[in-house]
C-alpha cells in the first residue's frame, strides 16, 4: 500500500512532463487532453484504493508512511522525501483528485477551441502533482516544495492567456503576493529547525511542550502569514480577485476548491503548535473573521460574475480559518466546510464558466439575465450550489457552516460573542450576494449585448463533458453535508489526527437558537437581495452607489493601499538606487580614475620634448643625489 | 703642484659643458659641450689615479675615450640626418617626443 | 589540461577550430568526471595530490590537490565550458562573413575559443592549487584572457550603434581589469606577508597550504592578532572584488552587459566562483580568528549585496545587466553562507556556487539567444515572445524560476541551506535575507512578463524558435537543475566531509537546537 502513495503523485507528474516536453510530437498534441484526464482519474482511483484500505483498519492505525529517499543530507540537517498519509491527507487526496478529475473532464469541453489545450492540461497535471505533494509530505520542507509548486502552477494557469496583459499582470501579482507568504513559511521552518532541530511533522508536534511559548507564537504567526498568502486572507488577499483572469476551470479547481484551502490545511496540520500558543491562535481567528466579512462585502459589489464568486471564496475560507483557529473544537468543521465548499464552489464556478461559454465569454452580470430557460442544466446545478452555499437547511453548506458558527460562539467569553456575531453577519451577507448573482444571471429581463465583434450571444446548453461534472458536483453539494453529519461521521474520521472536543455554548444559548439565528440571517439576506434585484429591473450600467459600494468595487481599496504604500515607494527606491549606483558607487571609482588622469595630465606638461629641459632635470637629479650622498656622509 | 687644482679645473670644465648643453640650441655646440663634460670627467679620473697611486682611473679614462669616440660617430650621424630632413640643427625643433 | 593548441589552427579552418575547442573541453570534462569519481569523500582531505618544486629559492611549489569543495567546482567548470563553447558557436565569426579586412588582421574565431580554453585551464588550476603562490599566479593570469574576451568579442547589440558599443566594451574591459588587478595586488602583498611570517617562524618560508595549516594546527605558527587581520583583509579584498561583494561590484554589470552571453556566463558562473571558493579555502582556512573577527562586517556587506543587487535588478532596463545584478544578489547569499560559520551554511554555499553556475548559465544563454535574434538588449523592445517562440520562452521561464529558487529546482536546496545556516546563528540577518526571496520573484517575473507575455510586438513577430544546437545546450542544463533539485545527495556527499574540515579549521560547532527532538517512529 505504501508504494501506491508515490504513484499517486507520480501519475499526474508524468502527465505534466509528457504534455509539456512532448510538444513537437503531433500525436501528443492531438490526444494530450485525454492523456491528462486519464492520469488524473488514475490518481483518483489510486486514492480510492488507499481509502478503502484505510477504512479496513482501526482509527489509530490508519496512517501510512512511505520513505522515498533522503533528500538533502547535510551535517545536522536532514530533509527526507517521505510521504505520510493519514485521515487528514486522505480527505484532501480524495477532494483534490476527485474534483480535479471532474474539472479535467470539464476542461476537455471548455478548452476545445484553444490551440494550446495540450499545454493547459500539462499545467493542470502539474498542479495536481504539486498539490498532492503538499498534502502528502511528512515534513515542512517537502510541504514547502508542494506549496511553491502549486504557486507555480497557479501562476502558469492564471497567465494562461498571456497575450492579454491583464492576465500576465494578474499571474505575476499572484505569484509575488504568494511569495510574501512563502517568506513566512520559510522563516517558520527555520525557526522550527533552530528550536527543534528538525522540521518533520511528527517530532515537531511531539516536542511542542518542551519549548517556550514565545517561540511557538512566532512560529505560529509565521505559519499564519504563509496561510494568508496562499488562502487569500487579509492582508494578503489582493491577488485572488485578479486571479480570475485565468480560464474558468482553473478558477474552479485552484482558486476555489483546492489550492486556496492549503492555508487551512497548514494551520490544521500544525494544530499542536497553535494550541500551545494561544496568542497566535487568537490572531488566526481574527484574520478569519475579518476576511469572512471583507470577502463578503467585496462579493456584494462586483458585477463580474467570477469576481463576485472570488469574493465569496475569500469569505468562505475566512470561515475555515476562523474554525481552524478555534482549536480542537473547530478543526474537524474547518475541514468539513472545506470539503463541502470544494463541492459547491467548484460547481458554482463551473456553472459560471458554462454561462460564459454560452454568452461569448461575457463576464458582466449586468449583461446576463433570464438565462434559466436557455441553460436548464446549468441553472439547476448552479441553483443547487447556490442553495448549498447560503446554508439552506438540509444542503451541505448548512451543516458545515452552522457547525462553525456554533463553534465560534462556543469559544466563550466576549471573544466568542464577537466571532460568532461576525460569522452570523457573514452568513447574512453571503445569502445576499449569492442571491444577487443568481437573480442577475438567471432571472429577470434579458440584458444581452453584442460582444466586441458585434455578435449577439446565443445562449445554449454546454456539451456533455461540461455538464456531467457540474451534475456530479451538484450532487456532492446537496448530499455531502448530510452524509458527513449523520452520526458525526466526519468528525470521528478525523479525530485520530486532529483531535476533537465538543464545544460548549455559553449560558443562555442553545444549539437550536444558533441554528435558528443562522437560518433567520440567511432569509434576511435573501429577502434583501430580492427586494433590490428581484422586484426591480437591474440597470444595465452600474449605478454610482454609496461610498462603501464604490470602495468594495475596488476591493475595499486594498490595491490602492498596496500601490501607495508599497509599489510606489518601491519604485522610487529602485530608481533611486539605480541612480545612486551609477553616480555614487561607480562615481567614486570613476572619480578616483579621473583624479589620477588629471594628475598625470599635469605631470605630462613637464615632458615638453625639449632635449635641453631633460638635460636640466638630469643635472638637477644628479646634484640632488650628490648632495644627498654628501649629507648622509656628513651625518 | 697640488693635484687638487686639476680637480678644480675639471669641475670648471664640467660646469661649462653642462651649462652649454642646457643653454645652447645648436646641436653641434651641444654635442661639443657633451664632449667637454666627458673630458672633464677624464681629467678628474686621471687626477684621482695619480692621487691614489694606482692605474684604475687611467684605465677608466681610456674606456671613456673609446666610448666618446663611438658616441661622436653615432651622434654626428644623427645630427647630420636630422639636419638633412629638417634643414636645421636646433635641438628645440626636434621636440617630437612631447605628447 | 592546458591544451591551448586551438590558436594555431589556420584562419581558413574556422570550423575545425570550433570542433577542436569543443573536443578539448569535452575531454577536460571527462577528465574532471574521472577525478570526481575517483575522489573518495571519506578519505584524506586533499587527494590526488601532485607536488613539484617550481621556484625552489622561495619555496614555491607546483602543488595540486582536490578536496570535496574543489572537486565539485572543477566539475562545474568542466561541465559548463562545453556549453559555453557550443552557445558561442557563431559569436566570434567575422561580421557579415565577407569582411576580409577584419579577417586578415587576426583570427578572431580561433582566438575566441583559445581564450575560453585558456580561462578554463586557469580557473581549474586555481581550484586545484594548494600552494598559495601558485593560486595567486593563476588567479591573476586569468584576467588577461578575460580582458581580451570582454574587450575583443563584445556584444554588438547596443542602442546607440556599433561605435558606442565598442566604446562601452573597452570601458567595461578596462574596468574589469583595473578592479581585479587592484584586488590582486593587495593580495600579492598579503601573500608575501604570509611568506615572511612563515619564514620567520618556521625557519624556511613556504607557500604550501597544507604545511601552513599543519603548522597552525600544532602551534608552530602563531600570527599576532594584527598581522592575521591585515593578511586576512588583503586576501579578502581580492576575493571580494572577484566575487563581487557590495560595494566592489560595479565592474560586473558592465562586464556582463558588454560581453557576449557565453563570455558573461564564463565570468559569472565560473571565474567569479574562484573568489567565493577562495574565501572558503584561504580566508577561513588560513586565518580563522581574523575571519571570526570580520564576520559581522562581512555578513552586513553580504546582506547589503543581496538586497541591493535584487533592488537594482528590478530597476534595470537591460536584460543582461538585470541578470548581472541578480548574480550580485546571489553572490551575497553565497558569502552569507560562507561566513555564517555553520555546516549548513558552508554546504549550502558550496552547492549554491554550483547551482548558481548552472541556473545563471541557463538564463544568460537563453537571454543571449533571444538577444541575438532581435538585436537588442532592452527589455522594452520585447513582448509576446511566448506566442512566437514557446520553447524559448519556456526555457527562459525555467531559468528564471531557478534564479528565484523555486523548490524542486536545484538552487532552492542551496538557498534554503544558506538561510537555515545563517538563521541558526544570526536570526535577524537570516530573516532580512529572506526578503531577498520576494525581491527575486519580482525581478524575474517582471522580466518574464515584459519580454515574453502580452501582445506580440511587431519586431518580435518573426523571431524563430530555438534551433537544435540551442536546445542541445539548454536541455542538459535544465535536466541538471531538476535532477540536483530532487536528488542533491551525490553532491552533498562529496561536499560534507570537506565542510567538516573547514568547520574544524575555524573551530566552530553548529548551534544546538533548544529541544532534543523525540525520534520519529519510522517503521
In this structure, the dihedral spanned by the alpha carbons of residues C332, C336, C338 and C344, taken in order and rounded to 10 degrees, is -120
Cβ contacts of A181 on chain C, cutoff 8 Å: none
Domains in chain C: boundaries: 2-94+104-521
Selecting from A179, A204, A207 the residue whose C-beta is nearest the C-beta of C438 gives A179
Q: CB-based contact (8 Å) between A608 and chain B?
A: yes
Model confidence band, residue A486 (pLDDT cutoffs 50, 70, 90) = confident
Q: How many residues appear in chain B?
A: 99
Which residue pairs, CB below 8 angstroms and at least 24 apart, start in A621-626?
Answer: none
Closest alpha carbon within chain B to A612: B22
Domain extents in chain B: 3-98
Residues 592..631 of A with a Cβ closer than 8 Å to C: which? Answer: 593
Dihedral sign (CA A467, A473, A475, A477): negative
Residues of A numbered 46-65 whose beta carbons fall under 8 angstroms of chain C's beta carbons: which are they? Answer: 65
**Residue range C109-125, pLDDT digits in tens:** 667 777 777 777 778 77
CATH level 3 topology of B3-98: Helix Hairpins (1.10.287)
User: What are phi and psi for residue C53, nearest 5 degrees?
Assistant: -70, 140
What pLDDT, in 10s, does the model give residues C314-346? Answer: 888 888 888 888 998 999 999 998 888 888 888
| Chains C and B in direct contact, meaning 3 or more beta-carbon pairs closer than 8 angstroms | no
pLDDT tops 90 at residue B40 = yes
Identify from C241, C251, C333, C420 which residue to disrupt to test chain A contact, counting A C-beta atoms within 10 A and taking the largest count. Answer: C420
In a 3-state reduction of DSSP, which class is residue C61?
Answer: strand
Q: What is the mean pLDDT of residues A96-123?
A: 85
- Per CB-CB distance under 8 Å, the chain A contacts of B96 are 609
Distances (CA, A) of C394 to A259, C363, C385: 23, 11, 10
Q: Is A619 on the interface with B (CB under 8 A)?
A: yes
Please tell me which chains touch B, using 3 or more CB pairs under 8 Å as the contact test. Answer: A
What's the rounded Cα separation, in Å, for the pair A330 and A121? 36
- Which chain C residues are closer than 8 Å to A163 by Cβ? 384, 386-387, 453-456
Alpha-carbon A36 to chain mean position: 23
Give me the residue from A608, A616, A619 closest to B98, CB to CB.
A608
Crossing angle of helices A464-485 and A331-358, in 10° steps, is 160
Residue of A549 and C404 predicted with greater confidence: C404
Question: Which pLDDT tens digit goes with each residue over C192-226?
Answer: 888 888 777 766 667 777 777 777 777 767 777 78
At residue C97, does pLDDT exceed 50? Answer: no
- Percent of chain A exceeding pLDDT 70 equals 95
The average pLDDT across C43-64 equals 64
Q: Is A77 on the interface with B (CB under 8 A)?
A: no
Identify whether the C-beta of residue B22 lies closer than 8 Å to the C-beta of residue A612. yes
Whether the CB-CB separation of A145 and A137 falls below 8 Å is answered with yes
The size of the A-C interface in CB pairs under 8 A is 190
CA distance A618 to chain C (A): 32
Instruction: Enumerate the H helices of C153-283 as residue ranges.
Output: 161-202, 209-217, 225-242, 251-258, 261-265, 272-278
User: Phi, psi at residue A457, to the nearest 5°?
Assistant: -70, 145
Burial of residue B86 (number of CB atoms within 10 Å: 0-12, 13-18, 19+): exposed
Which residue among A604, A607, A612 sits closest to B91, beta carbon to beta carbon? A612
B29 interface with A at CB cutoff 8 Å: no
Looking at residue C342, what is its pLDDT? 84
Q: How far is A376 from chain C (nearest CA, A)?
A: 37
Q: How near does any CA of chain A get to the CA of C37, in Å?
A: 19
Chain A residue numbers touching C493 (CB-CB < 8 A)? 73
What does the block give as the cell for A113? 477551441
pLDDT of residue C1: 40
The set of chains that have 3 or more CB pairs under 8 A with C is A
Do A612 and B18 count as a contact with CB atoms less than 8 A apart?
no
Which string of b and e fits A103-141 if b means at least 16 CB within 10 Å?
Answer: bbbbbbbbbeeeebbbbbbbbbbbbbbbbbbbbbbbbbb
Omega prior to A78 cis, within 30 of 0: no
pLDDT over threshold 60, residue C519? no
- CB spacing of C520 vs A200 below 8 angstroms: yes
Task: Note the residue count of chain A.
Answer: 635
Q: Which residues of C464-490 are buried (b: 16+ CB within 10 A; e: fewer)?
A: ebbeeebeebbebbbebbbebbbbbee
Determine whether the interchain pair A77/C420 forms a contact, defined as Cβ–Cβ distance below 8 Å. yes
State the DSSP H helix or E strand holding residue A147, giving kind and residue range, or none if neither: helix A140-158
Residues in C touching A574 (Cβ below 8 Å): 311-312, 314-315
Mutate to test the interface with A, among B18, B75, B79 (most CBs of A within 10 A): B18
CB A176 within 8 A of CB A243: no
pLDDT value of position C485: 81
pLDDT value of residue A478 = 86
Residue C510 φ/ψ, nearest 5 degrees: -65, 145
pLDDT tens-digit map of A347-390 = 899 889 888 888 877 888 888 877 888 888 888 999 999 999 88
- Per CB-CB distance under 8 Å, the chain C contacts of A171 are 449
Q: Determine contact: B23 vs chain A, CB below 8 A.
A: yes
In tens, the pLDDT along C268-311 reads 888 888 888 888 888 887 888 888 888 888 899 999 889 888 88
Gap from B97 CA to chain A (nearest CA, Å) = 5
CB contact under 8 A, A612 and B97: no
Mean pLDDT of chain A: 83
> Cα(A320)–Cα(A289) distance, rounded to whole angstroms?
10
**Of A39-48, A256-265, A290-299, C281-290, which gets the smallest average pLDDT?**
C281-290
Please compute the mean of the pLDDT values over residues C457-483 and round it to a whole number: 79
Grade residue A320 by pLDDT with cuts at 50, 70 and 90: very high
C-alpha cell at C69: 569543495
**DSSP assignment of C330-378:** HHHHHHHHHHTTSHHHHHHHHHHHHHHHHHHHHHHHHHHHHHHHHT--B
How many Å is the maximal CA-CA distance in chain A? 121
Q: Does A162 touch chain C (CB under 8 A)?
A: yes
The rounded Cα B95 to chain-centroid distance in angstroms is: 22
B18–A contact, CB cutoff 8 A? yes
- One-character DSSP codes across B66-88: HHHHHHHHHHHHHHHHHHHHHS-
- Span A458-463, mean pLDDT? 80
Enumerate long-range contacts of B61-65, CB under 8 Å, 24 or more apart.
B64/B38
Cα angle vertex A607, ends A602, A612, to 5°? 140
Q: How far is A148 from chain C (nearest CA, A)?
A: 6
Chain B nearest CA to A587, separation (Å): 28
Q: What is the pLDDT of residues C137-172, one digit of tens each?
A: 888 888 888 888 887 776 555 555 667 777 777 888
**How close does chain B come to A602, measured CA to CA in Å?**
12
Mutate to test the interface with A, among C423, C424, C520 (most CBs of A within 10 A): C520
Alpha-carbon gap: A252 to the closest alpha carbon of chain C (Å): 24
d(CA A211, CA A196): 9
A626 Cβ under 8 Å from any chain B Cβ: no
Print the SS3 string covering A357-425.
HHCCCCCEHHHCCCHHHCCHHHHHHHHHHHHHHHCCCCCHHHHHHHHHHHHHHHCCHHHHHHHHHHHHH
Closest CA relative to residue C494, chosen from C33, C39, C32: C39
Name which of C177, C445, C487, C516 to mutate to probe chain A: the one with the most chain A Cβ atoms within 10 A of its Cβ: C445
A234 min Cα distance to partner chain C (Å)? 18
More confident residue, A70 or C221: A70
User: Worst-scoring range by mean pLDDT, A181-190, C38-47, C171-180, C189-198?
Assistant: C38-47
Neighbours of C512 (CB within 10 A): 11
Please, are residues C252 and C218 in contact by the beta-carbon 8 Å criterion? no
Selecting from B22, B25, B96 the residue whose C-beta is nearest the C-beta of A609 gives: B96
Amino acid at each position: 500500500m505504501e508504494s501506491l502513495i508515490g504513484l499517486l503523485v507520480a501519475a499526474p507528474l508524468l502527465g505534466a512532463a509528457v504534455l509539456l516536453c512532448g510538444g513537437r510530437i503531433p500525436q501528443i498534441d492531438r490526444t494530450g487532453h485525454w492523456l491528462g484526464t486519464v492520469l488524473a482519474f488514475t490518481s483518483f482511483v489510486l486514492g480510492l484504493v488507499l481509502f478503502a484500505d484505510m477504512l479496513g483498519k482501526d482509527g489509530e492505525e490508519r496512517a501510512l508512511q512511505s520513505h522515498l529517499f533522503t533528500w538533502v543530507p547535510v551535517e545536522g540537517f536532514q530533509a527526507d522525501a517521505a510521504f505520510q498519509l493519514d485521515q487528514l491527507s486522505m480527505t484532501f487526496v480524495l477532494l483534490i483528485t476527485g474534483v480535479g478529475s471532474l474539472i479535467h473532464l470539464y476542461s476537455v469541453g471548455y478548452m476545445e477551441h484553444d490551440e494550446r489545450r495540450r499545454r493547459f492540461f500539462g499545467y493542470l497535471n502539474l498542479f495536481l502533482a504539486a498539490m498532492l505533494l503538499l498534502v502528502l509530505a511528512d515534513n515542512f520542507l517537502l510541504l514547502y516544495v508542494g506549496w511553491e509548486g502549486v504557486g507555480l502552477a497557479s501562476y502558469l494557469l492564471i497567465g494562461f492567456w498571456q497575450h492579454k496583459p491583464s492576465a500576465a499582470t494578474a499571474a505575476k501579482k499572484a505569484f509575488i503576493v504568494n511569495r510574501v507568504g512563502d517568506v513566512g513559511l520559510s522563516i517558520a521552518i527555520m525557526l522550527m529547525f533552530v528550536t527543534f532541530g528538525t522540521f518533520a511533522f511528527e517530532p515537531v508536534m511531539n516536542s511542542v511542550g518542551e519549548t517556550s511559548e514565545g517561540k511557538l507564537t512566532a512560529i505560529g504567526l509565521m505559519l499564519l502569514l504563509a496561510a494568508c498568502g496562499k488562502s487569500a486572507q487579509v492582508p494578503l488577499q489582493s491577488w485572488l480577485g485578479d486571479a480570475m483572469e485565468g480560464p474558468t476551470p482553473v478558477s474552479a479547481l485552484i482558486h476555489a476548491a483546492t489550492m486556496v484551502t492549503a492555508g487551512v490545511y497548514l494551520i490544521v496540520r500544525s494544530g499542536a503548535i497553535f494550541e500551545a500558543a494561544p496568542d497566535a491562535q487568537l490572531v488566526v481567528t481574527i484574520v478569519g473573521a475579518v476576511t469572512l466579512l471583507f470577502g463578503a462585502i467585496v462579493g456584494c459589489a462586483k458585477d463580474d460574475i467570477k469576481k463576485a464568486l472570488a469574493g465569496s471564496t475569500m469569505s468562505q475560507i475566512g470561515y475555515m480559518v476562523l474554525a481552524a483557529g478555534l482549536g480542537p473544537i473547530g478543526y474537524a468543521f474547518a475541514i468539513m466546510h472545506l470539503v463541502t465548499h470544494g463541492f459547491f464552489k467548484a460547481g458554482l464556478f463551473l456553472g459560471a464558466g458554462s454561462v460564459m461559454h454560452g454568452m461569448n465569454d461575457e463576464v458582466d452580470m449586468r449583461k446576463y439575465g433570464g438565462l434559466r430557460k436557455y441553460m436548464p442544466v446549468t441553472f439547476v446545478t448552479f441553483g443547487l450550489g447556490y442553495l448549498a452555499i447560503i446554508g439552506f437547511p438540509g444542503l451541505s453548506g448548512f451543516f458545515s457552516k452552522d457547525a462553525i458558527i456554533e463553534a465560534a460562539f462556543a469559544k466563550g467569553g466576549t471573544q466568542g460573542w464577537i466571532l460568532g456575531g461576525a460569522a452570523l453577519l457573514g452568513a447574512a451577507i453571503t445569502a445576499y450576494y449569492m442571491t444577487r448573482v443568481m437573480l442577475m444571471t438567471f432571472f429577470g429581463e434579458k440584458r444581452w449585448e453584442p460582444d466586441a465583434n458585434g455578435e449577439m450571444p446565443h445562449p445554449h446548453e454546454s456539451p456533455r463533458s461540461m455538464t456531467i461534472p457540474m451534475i456530479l458536483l451538484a450532487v456532492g453539494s446537496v448530499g455531502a453535508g448530510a452524509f458527513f453529519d449523520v452520526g458525526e461521521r466526519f468528525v470521528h474520521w478525523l479525530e485520530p489526527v486532529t483531535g476533537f472536543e465538543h464545544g460548549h455554548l455559553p449560558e443562555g444559548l442553545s444549539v437550536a437558537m444558533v441554528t435558528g439565528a443562522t437560518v433567520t440571517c440567511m432569509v434576511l439576506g435573501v429577502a434583501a437581495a430580492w427586494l433590490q434585484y428581484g422586484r426591480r429591473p437591474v440597470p444595465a450600467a452600474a449605478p454610482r452607489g454609496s461610498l462603501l459600494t464604490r470602495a468594495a468595487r475596488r476591493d475595499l481599496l486594498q490595491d490602492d493601499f498596496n500601490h501607495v504604500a508599497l509599489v510606489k515607494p518601491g519604485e522610487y527606491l529602485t530608481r533611486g538606487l539605480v541612480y545612486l549606483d551609477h553616480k555614487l558607487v561607480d562615481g567614486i571609482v570613476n572619480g578616483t580614475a579621473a583624479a589620477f588622469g588629471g594628475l598625470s595630465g599635469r605631470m605630462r606638461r613637464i615632458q615638453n620634448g625639449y632635449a635641453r629641459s631633460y638635460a636640466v632635470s638630469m643635472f638637477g637629479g644628479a646634484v640632488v643625489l650628490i648632495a644627498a650622498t654628501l649629507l648622509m656622509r656628513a651625518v | 703642484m697640488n693635484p687638487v687644482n686639476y680637480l678644480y679645473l675639471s669641475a670648471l670644465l664640467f660646469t661649462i659643458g653642462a651649462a652649454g648643453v642646457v643653454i645652447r640650441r645648436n646641436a653641434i655646440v651641444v654635442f661639443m659641450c657633451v664632449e667637454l663634460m666627458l673630458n672633464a670627467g677624464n681629467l678628474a679620473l686621471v687626477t684621482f689615479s695619480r692621487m691614489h697611486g694606482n692605474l684604475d682611473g687611467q684605465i677608466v679614462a681610456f674606456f671613456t675615450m673609446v666610448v666618446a669616440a663611438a658616441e661622436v660617430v653615432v651622434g654626428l650621424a644623427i645630427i647630420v640626418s636630422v639636419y638633412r630632413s629638417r634643414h636645421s640643427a636646433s635641438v628645440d625643433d626636434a621636440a617630437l617626443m612631447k605628447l | 589540461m592546458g591544451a591551448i593548441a586551438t590558436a594555431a589552427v589556420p584562419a581558413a579552418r574556422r570550423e575545425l577550430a570550433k570542433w577542436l575547442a569543443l573536443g578539448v573541453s569535452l575531454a577536460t570534462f571527462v577528465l574532471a568526471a574521472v577525478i570526481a569519481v575517483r575522489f573518495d569523500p571519506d578519505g584524506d582531505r586533499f587527494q590526488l595530490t601532485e607536488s613539484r618544486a617550481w621556484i625552489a629559492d622561495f619555496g614555491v611549489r607546483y602543488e595540486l590537490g582536490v578536496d570535496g569543495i574543489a572537486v565539485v567546482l572543477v566539475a562545474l567548470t568542466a561541465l559548463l565550458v562545453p556549453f559555453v563553447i557550443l552557445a558561442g558557436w557563431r559569436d566570434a565569426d567575422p561580421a557579415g562573413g565577407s569582411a576580409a579586412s577584419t579577417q586578415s588582421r587576426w583570427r578572431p574565431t580561433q582566438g575566441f575559443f583559445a581564450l575560453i580554453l585558456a580561462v578554463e585551464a586557469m580557473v581549474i588550476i586555481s581550484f586545484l592549487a594548494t600552494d598559495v603562490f601558485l593560486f595567486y599566479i593563476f588567479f591573476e593570469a586569468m584576467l588577461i584572457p578575460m580582458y581580451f574576451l570582454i574587450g575583443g568579442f563584445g556584444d554588438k547589440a547596443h542602442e546607440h550603434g556599433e561605435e558606442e558599443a565598442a566604446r562601452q566594451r573597452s570601458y567595461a574591459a578596462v574596468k574589469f581589469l583595473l578592479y581585479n588587478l587592484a584586488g590582486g595586488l593587495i593580495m600579492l602583498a598579503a601573500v608575501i606577508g604570509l611568506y615572511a611570517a612563515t619564514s620567520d617562524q618556521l625557519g624556511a618560508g613556504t607557500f604550501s597550504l597544507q604545511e601552513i595549516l599543519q603548522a597552525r594546527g600544532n602551534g608552530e605558527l602563531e600570527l599576532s592578532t594584527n598581522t592575521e587581520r591585515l593578511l586576512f583583509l588583503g586576501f579578502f579584498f581580492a576575493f571580494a572584488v572577484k566575487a563581487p561583494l557590495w560595494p566592489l561590484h560595479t565592474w560586473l554589470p558592465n562586464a556582463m552587459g558588454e560581453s557576449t552571453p557565453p563570455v558573461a556566463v564564463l565570468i559569472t558562473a565560473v571565474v567569479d566562483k574562484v573568489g567565493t571558493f577562495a574565501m572558503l579555502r584561504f580566508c577561513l582556512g588560513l586565518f580563522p580568528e581574523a575571519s571570526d573577527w570580520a564576520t559581522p562586517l562581512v555578513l552586513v556587506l553580504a546582506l547589503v549585496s543581496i538586497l541591493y543587487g535584487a533592488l537594482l535588478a528590478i530597476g534595470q532596463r537591460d536584460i543582461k545587466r538585470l541578470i548581472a545584478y541578480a548574480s550580485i544578489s546571489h553572490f551575497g547569499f553565497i558569502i552569507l553562507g560562507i561566513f555564517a560559520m555553520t555546516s549548513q551554511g558552508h554546504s549550502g554555499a558550496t552547492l549554491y556556487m554550483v547551482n548558481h553556475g548552472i541556473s545563471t548559465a541557463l538564463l544568460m544563454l537563453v537571454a543571449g539567444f533571444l538577444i541575438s535574434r532581435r538585436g537588442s538588449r532592452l527589455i522594452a523592445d520585447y513582448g509576446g515572445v511566448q506566442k512566437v517562440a514557446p520553447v524559448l520562452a519556456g526555457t527562459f521561464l525555467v531559468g528564471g524560476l531557478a534564479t528565484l529558487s523555486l523548490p524542486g529546482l536545484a538552487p532552492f536546496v542551496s538557498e534554503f541551506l544558506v538561510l537555515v545556516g545563517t538563521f541558526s546563528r544570526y536570526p535577524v540577518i537570516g530573516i532580512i535575507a529572506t526578503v531577498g526571496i520576494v525581491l527575486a520573484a519580482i525581478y524575474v517575473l517582471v522580466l518574464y512578463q515584459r519580454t515574453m507575455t502580452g501582445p506580440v510586438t511587431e519586431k518580435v513577430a518573426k523571431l524563430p524558435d530555438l534551433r537544435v544546437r540551442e536546445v542541445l545546450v539548454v536541455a542538459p542544463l535544465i535536466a541538471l537543475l531538476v535532477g540536483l533539485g530532487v536528488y542533491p545527495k551525490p553532491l552533498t556527499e562529496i561536499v560534507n566531509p570537506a565542510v567538516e574540515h573547514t568547520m574544524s579549521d575555524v573551530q566552530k560547532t553548529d548551534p544546538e537546537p533548544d529541544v532534543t527532538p523525540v525520534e520519529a517512529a519510522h517503521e
